[in-house]
Structure 1
Amino acid sequence: MAFFSSGSRVLVEILTRMQSAERPMPVDHTFFESGSIRYHVEASASDPENVFLSISTPSLSYDYEEAAAAPSSSRLPELTLQEARKTYHRFAEMVEPPREGYVLTLKLNFSGLTRPKDRVKAINQVSLLQSVVLSSQLKHMLGSLGSSGTMRLVYNNQREPFFVSKTAEKINAIFPMRFRDDTDLAIATSFFQELQEVGNSFARAPKCSWSPIPPPELRGENVHHLTTNGGFVSFGVLSRHVRGKRPPRPRGSCSTSSPTSSTTSSAPGATSRAGCGSGWRP
């Protein structure tokens, strides 16, 4: 299911508390978001300036069997790793290999950021790590989509595929929306209708549309993939967003994690799930 990532609030809370703590404290926390995204944060009291952040998230794939077979701890594509290095190079190093069971581990060190507002900005940027990973993969996939008229299914996990189609002018990303809760469905439907109106009021913004029925591009697709109770949200992706010199901003990217999945988190002061490899050190 598509959603606009505003970053991990739990990750912001953990890192902010660590930065504002009066005394160094050991941290070893694991938490989950959107069902399939797992984070681990670790720091020792003897070396509090170095914080190890690991993430496990499903990779994008055109192939259902590949998506089903590939564990969320498989290695990320090199282009995605390069994007992460470039995004966080001012205050983070990539740890190789990553923590066991995770696709990426960063060693964060904010000591070089002397102004508090710079640290706040850096923490918010780190909270978008999952969006950086997915947007980099999606950008690469869209750039190699093929000839005009191509329609492909993209899998981020086995339950929530979305479609990408290519025309001579643009690429469309189409997300079937599914919700378990009637209240969530009503809120989401209203939100996407407003998003369509606001987005289409800006001439330079990619077009966004919502429809309760499959758009014409999806005619002939497997009905199993078109079964939805929340309609279909479509976004136009312009060529400059795929081939431009600057990478797309993570906050404007779409990922495919389900908002209906339950979120389990453990932050400082909350219940901790510290049992996964608490003795690990790079």
Structure 2
Amino acid sequence: MILLQSPSKYLLQILTTRLENLDKGVELDSHWIEFSDVRYHVQASMKNPNLLFLSVSLPPPPPETVSFGGLPPGAIEAIKAAYGVVAQILDPPRDGFSLTLKLNLSKLPPDEEHKHGVLTKIASVREVVLGAPLRVFLKQLASRTVASDIDKVVALVHRPMESFFLIPQVEKVTVVFPMRFKDSIDILLATSFLKEFVDARRTAGLNNAPPCSWSPSPPPELKGAPPEALSSNAGFVSFVIFPRHVEGRKLDRTVWSLSTFHAYVSYHVKCSEGFMHTRMRRRVESLIQALDSAKPEYEKAVKATQNRSFKRLSLKDGRSSLKSFS
């Protein structure tokens, strides 16, 4: 199984390399995209090597979600809590981006372990920003501070112009994902994978994992959701999160796993598709090898058949010629 990591490996590598080579003061200008929905841009100059500008473009939110300046609720507070004096939020952000952070590497803690921890947290900016509203609800669940009279469906950014949904309650939070795929093969593979994923929850050793279910139609919990947000071609996956799933360090893992669930399924679907293609290629290659190995025997048999036919034909022609002289 593929386990997606929270820190961006490429961003962490850039930050670490920059910190190790501050005396060189080289120019830096790098663009890349991860998870097919988040775009990054890192810039640094020779004049002040301690300063880096990190810009992030988030998936455009669908109309049923709430955002503030292109950021999900609670994102600003989450950034300040995670990065402290190391990062300054620029307002407005760079053109074409949802967020721009001015990073000051000189304000990193001197202790190497703590320093690496801050760099790893910066490289996890996707989780910090997109997971902020989900973290708020799960923290309330852990502390049992969810309002007892709450009865609503909360839509959060899932992918570009797509949502997933939270139904918060005092003792549990239900999370529902409408699963959508563009390619017809991906739809079939995803549907099969999700059914097996749900069945795996029933196996021994996974009793403490959040209960999950799959259905081809929207579950009853989404009764209050906008109909246009409930389109799905690979069904709906529901998780029930209890306080024990978000206690202590489990909170970070749960937030990350839920916020990247669609990417997790997509990776497995693509791997399955690639495995199928590899098996097909190997099957074709084995058939070609079998045909190649049989080719000499085939040619030998054809040649022998042709020789026998030629001898019969020659004997017949000879007899015909003898009859013509008789």
Larger Rg: 2
Cα distance in 2 between the residues matched to 1:18 and 1:190:
44
8 Å CA contact 2:165, 2:177 repeated in 1 = yes
Partner-residue secondary structure (3-state), 1:64 = coil
Cα distance in 1 between the residues matched to 2:227 and 2:131:
27
1:183/1:49 CA distance change after superposition, 3 Å: farther
1:205/1:66 CA distance change after superposition, 3 Å: closer
Shift of 1:160: 0.7
Q: Which amino acid aligns with 1:105?
A: L
TM-score between the two structures when normalised by the length of structure 2: 0.58
Partner-residue secondary structure (3-state), 2:78 = helix
Gaps of 5+ in 2: 267-326
8 Å CA contact 1:177, 1:229 repeated in 2 = yes
In the other structure, the counterpart of 1:8 is: 8
1:35/1:84 CA distance change after superposition, 3 Å: same
Out of 154, 177, 180, the residue aligned to residue 178 of structure 1 is 180
Cα distance in 1 between the residues matched to 2:41 and 2:254:
22
In the alignment, structure 1 residue 88 sits paired with structure 2 residue 83: yes
Cα distance in 1 between the residues matched to 2:210 and 2:176:
13
Structure 1 window deviating more from structure 2 (222-231 vs 196-205): it is 196-205
Kindly, what percent of the aligned residue pairs are identical?
Answer: 29
- CA deviation map 1:222-277 (0-9, x unaligned): 554333222212122335778x78893166333379758xxxxxxxxxxxxxxxxx
Q: Which amino acid aligns with 1:25?
A: V
8 Å CA contact 1:211, 1:231 repeated in 2 = yes
Between 1 and 2, higher relative CO (CA 8 Å, sep ≥ 6) is seen in 1
When you count helix as a share of all residues, which structure comes out higher?
A: 2
The CA RMSD over aligned residues, in Å, is: 4.2
Shift of 1:122: 3.9
Out of 207, 211, 233, the residue aligned to residue 211 of structure 2 is 207
1:190/1:257 CA distance change after superposition, 3 Å: closer
Q: Which amino acid aligns with 1:100?
A: R
1:25/1:220 CA distance change after superposition, 3 Å: closer
In the other structure, the counterpart of 1:249 is: 252
Out of 109, 130, 135, the residue aligned to residue 134 of structure 1 is 130
Gaps of 5+ in 1: 261-282
8 Å CA contact 2:39, 2:57 repeated in 1 = yes
Shift of 1:6: 3.1
Out of 211, 224, 227, the residue aligned to residue 231 of structure 2 is 227
